[in-house]
Amino acid sequence: MNTTTIAQVKNHLEETVTIGAWLHNKRSSGKIAFLQLRDGTGFIQGVVAKAAVPEEIFNLTKNLTQETSLYVTGKVVEDTRSPLGFELQVSNVEVIQEAEDYPITPKEHGTEFLMDHRHLWLRSKKQHAIMKVRNEIIRSTYEFFNEQGFVKVDPPILTGASAEGTTELFHTKYFDEDAYLSQSGQLYMEAAAMALGRVFSFGPTFRAEKSKTRRHLIEFWMIEPEMAFMNHEQSLELQEQYVSHVVQSVLKNCKIELDTLERDTSKLEKIEAPFPRITYDDAIQFLKDQGFDDIDWGDDFGAPHETAIAEAYDKPVFITHFPVEIKAFYMKPDPDNPKVALCADLIAPEGYGEIIGGSERIDDFELMKQRYNEHELDGQAYEWYLQLRKYGSVPHSGFGLGLERTVAWISGIEHIRETIPFPRLLNRLYP
């Protein structure tokens, strides 16, 4: 048996092949049936002509139900009407398991129903495309950082204390001790950078915030690079190269998926380094000029503010030099103006919000100790972090990219819950 996958049929033109597949949808008439087949690698149409197959095969085909699993044998032929460019002239169909009453029909469904059936919803064309884009972002992330000489390091998920002391953490027990699920691997990545130079992590992160918006998940994945001997400006350059690489990789390797998602790729094609930059001071002034009277120097931006700033550009935009009070304790103050930090948020275009937060880190022992006191951090839990400033401290910078927001932006989808296979949301722990 000449078995293959839908992604590989292009290598079997005019050959007869067998594909393991599920019946995605079906259209039939008296003497011809069209089987919409999917096998995970892609979608292809199988054409069953009554004249070309034994009668029992044609009758079987007519009664196939949605999501029935099959072995389909047929000849691969070119067809310009197919998005794939090929279709299958079916000669035999073997049912593996007949699916009855598949809940997700070809018509429209509500969000609650689809989320309750997320384990099946993933099979749909749009969700399949999003997962492929997500995978390409992950693949090109590894590619980029490997090419740049980074080492992947895995920080712990169970931690004894908060990394930033701000957000709500998930609490659990670690035998007789209290423990928390990681909200950032950053502090550990700083330690790793002092050992390996340039490092990046990719892992889950947990925030017990009661956030209920299209941009928030309770459990999400972050990419956190950390670079020794790199200042804030050099970090921004790396960030814009990284994001550009990811966008261009998706454009190159996910053409069918972006087409399925009806993404306006002309907007993505513009995403090339360098990215525009605006200081926090100028951003506040810009917003006031735009008529926002609900924000003053020292406030953090809300979603409408971020969107207004992003809409002024057709690339992601860095907002730099935030007031130190509204940023994390470890960010290095600007030597020219200690009221602001050497930091930047990267705001995605089209209203998708912040996708990166980064900064140069404090490398001075005394200043870091002072920050501990100001933020009332538990000295014991952070003792090891302080030691990094004691034994050969060097200038270093890092940032964190939110994977799901990046997937949402590049895919052009409305809600972040569709960017992760099984989203954890405020009121959803199943499936």
Partner RNA sequence: UCCAGCGUAGCUCAGUGGUAGAGCAAUCGGCUGUUAACCGAUUGGUCGCAGGUUCGAAUCCUGCCGCUGGAGCCA
Alpha helices in 254-350 (DSSP H): 255-260, 265-269, 280-289, 303-310
> Please, what is the minimum distance in Å from the beta carbon of residue 176 to RNA?
30
Q: Using the minimum distance from each CB to RNA, give the nearer residue, 193 or 413.
A: 413
**Among 388, 362, 387, which residue's Cα sits nearest to residue 375?**
362
Q: Which amino acid is at 402?
A: G
Q: Using the minimum distance from each CB to RNA, give the nearer residue, 253 or 279.
A: 279
- Ramachandran assignment for 350, one of left (phi > 0), alpha (psi -120 to 50 degrees), beta (any other): left
CA distance 7 to 124: 17
Q: Using the minimum distance from each CB to RNA, give the nearer residue, 168 or 314.
A: 168
> Please, what is the minimum distance in Å from the beta carbon of residue 109 to RNA?
4
Contact 130, 409 (CB under 8 A): no
Q: Nearest 5 degrees, angle CA 221-CA 388-CA 160?
A: 50
Q: Using the minimum distance from each CB to RNA, give the nearer residue, 102 or 142.
A: 102
Q: Nearest 5 degrees, angle CA 35-CA 36-CA 37?
A: 100
CB-based burial of residue 158 (10 Å sphere; 0-12 exposed, 13-18 middle, 19+ buried)? exposed
> Please, what is the minimum distance in Å from the beta carbon of residue 403 to RNA?
8
- Say what the alpha-carbon torsion angle 122, 128, 133, 138 is, to the nearest 10 degrees: 50
Q: Nearest 5 degrees, angle CA 299-CA 300-CA 304?
A: 110
Q: Using the minimum distance from each CB to RNA, give the nearer residue, 250 or 356.
A: 356
> Please, what is the minimum distance in Å from the beta carbon of residue 241 to RNA?
18
* DSSP code per residue over 345-372: EEEETTTTEEEEEEEEBP--HHHHHHHH
> Please, what is the minimum distance in Å from the beta carbon of residue 377 to RNA?
16
> Please, what is the minimum distance in Å from the beta carbon of residue 345 to RNA?
7
Contact 162, 169 (CB under 8 A): yes
Q: Nearest 5 degrees, angle CA 307-CA 303-CA 134?
A: 75
**Among 84, 95, 102, which residue's Cα sits nearest to residue 43?**
84
> Please, what is the minimum distance in Å from the beta carbon of residue 390 to RNA?
26
> Please, what is the minimum distance in Å from the beta carbon of residue 44 to RNA?
11
